[in-house]
Copies of this chain bind each other. A is one copy, B any other.
Amino acid sequence: MSRIPVAVLGATGMVGQRLLQLLDVHPWFEPAFLGASVQSAGKPLAESGRWLLPEPVPASARLELRPLDAPFDCPLVFSALPSDVAGTVEERLAAEGKAVCSNAAAHRLAPEVPLLIPEVNPDQTALIELQRRRRGGAGLIVTNPNCSTVQVVLALKPLHDAFGLAEVAVTTLQALSGAGYPGLPAMDVLDNVIPFIAGEEAKLEREPLKLLGEVRDGRLREAEIRISAQCNRVAVRDGHLACLTVRLRSPASLDEVGRLWQEFRGALEARNLPSTPPRPVRVHSAADRPQPRLDRDAGGGMAVSVGRLQSSPLGGLKCVVLGHNTVRGAAGAAIHNAELLLEQGWLRGPGGVPARPPVPAKEA
């Protein structure tokens, strides 16, 4: 069976290129339309002088870049657009009946838009009903979290379920690719740290509340957790590292926490999705792990690595969490969400019947 054709918007950017790289070998989806700004449109991405990733270049990079308002047939859209552009483009596409998996921040906190991590809150797709009632149309928008949020929430989820999270202080050391391309000037980064990322701390303090919330009666109730974030940019290509100090609502031993991570497989509905790693959380016991260079590609970039688990002198625990920011934190997250939508029957095929995965999950 052939793969489902998909559109990738913002294809020339850092996340867009990761989308093409990941979709190049995806069992279900195949890029058929690459949308970009008018200035970039008109030639194949691979020949635009903007391809940024190492060899090998994916086949879909040979597709011609098209303007964002060009028509296309694909029922499923991945949006890696800048947030200021994403809002209206994504709304228009949803109104036209497309299913939009967005990496942009524009709609993340809207009450009727799911903010998803398939292993964490697959039930939040129920908000799509509310979305359709409010916005009309047969399309939909779902979003994935900010790149520094995903990994932190994946690590915190089993602890929240078992003990309840009360307070989290998180300091991040974030990779350059999170700023897109061209991103930061080399002159600012070499032999330096930038202790500021615009808007990032607010996202990291707020998005987990929605991700760890509950859907009741078709509406979302956010979790009640106090989070304080401090975000730094460091001279690392890929891989956001986060240092966490966590206070739980009920006491937990380090052994229990370690075991919860070891055993965490994520929500049932997510377990058979192609992008769900067998072990979404990898636990390190070596004192100097996880490290961005060594661990960002664990589970094809979709597994999160935790380590340095210790009791905190403030009560609770401290630990380090690492994830690949443009895979698990962006492109892979959007694809993961699309897999969940397909598995749950939200995507429509020809004739309006729910589309099915072209090949069985996990056997591709």
Contact present for A230 and B308 (CB under 8 Å):
yes
Of B54, B189, B234, which is within 8 A of A193 by CB?
B234
Give every chain B residue within 8 A of A194 (Cβ-Cβ).
288, 291
State the Cβ distance, A261 to closest chain B Cβ, in Å. Answer: 16
Enumerate A174-229 residues with CB–CB distance to B below 8 Å. 176-177, 181-196, 198, 205, 226-228
Q: Tell me whether A269 is interfacial, beta carbon within 8 Å.
A: no
Binary B-proximity of A34-46 (CB < 8 A = 1, otherwise 0): 0000000000000
Q: Digitize A240-253: 1 where CB-to-B-CB distance is under 8 Å, 0 elsewhere.
A: 01010100000000
Q: Shortest Cβ distance from A98 into chain B, in angstroms?
A: 31
Question: How far is the CB of A253 from the nearest CB of chain B, in Å?
Answer: 18
Task: Take A195-B308, A241-B195, A296-B54 as given contacts and tell me if A234 and B190 are in contact as well, using a CB distance cutoff of 8 Å.
Answer: no
A192/B55 in contact, CB under 8 A: no
With an 8 A cutoff between CB atoms, is A344 at the interface?
Answer: no
Q: Is the CB of B192 within 8 A of A291?
A: yes
CB distance from A310 to the nearest CB of B (A): 8
How many residues belonging to A are interface residues under a CB distance threshold of 8 Å?
Answer: 64
Does A190 lie within 8 Å of B176, measured CB to CB?
Answer: yes
The distance in angstroms between the C-alpha atoms of A56 and B299, with both chains bound, is 8
Is B190 a contact of A318 with CB atoms below 8 Å? Answer: no
- When chains A and B are docked, how far (Å) is the Cα of A169 from the Cα of B244? 10
Contact A243 to B228, CB < 8 A, known contacts A187-B182, A192-B292, A235-B190: no
**What sequence of 0s and 1s flags, for each residue 310-352 of chain A, a beta carbon within 8 Å of any chain B beta carbon?**
0011100010100000000000000000000000000000000
Residues A173 and B234 in contact, CB atoms below 8 Å apart: yes
Complex alpha-carbon distance, A49 and B287, angstroms: 10
Tell me whether A24 is interfacial, beta carbon within 8 Å: no
Check if A232 is an interface residue, CB within 8 A of chain B. yes
Partner of A173, one of B184, B232, B313: B232
What 1/0 mask marks residues of chain A from 260 to 297 whose CB sits below 8 Å from any chain B CB? 00000000000000000000000000111111111111
| A residues neighboring B (CB under 8 Å) | 14, 49, 52-56, 167, 169, 171, 173, 176-177, 181-196, 198, 205, 226-228, 230, 232, 234-237, 241, 243, 245, 286-299, 307-308, 312-314, 318, 320
Having A52-B187, A171-B171, A232-B243, one finds 8 other A-B pairs with CB under 8 Å, namely A55-B295, A181-B187, A182-B187, A192-B236, A193-B234, A195-B241, A198-B287, A230-B320
Sample 30 A-B pairs with CB under 8 A, ordered by A number: A54-B294, A55-B299, A171-B230, A176-B190, A181-B185, A181-B187, A182-B187, A183-B186, A184-B185, A186-B189, A190-B235, A190-B237, A191-B235, A191-B237, A192-B293, A193-B241, A194-B291, A195-B241, A195-B289, A195-B291, A195-B308, A196-B287, A196-B288, A226-B313, A226-B314, A228-B313, A228-B314, A232-B241, A234-B234, A245-B245
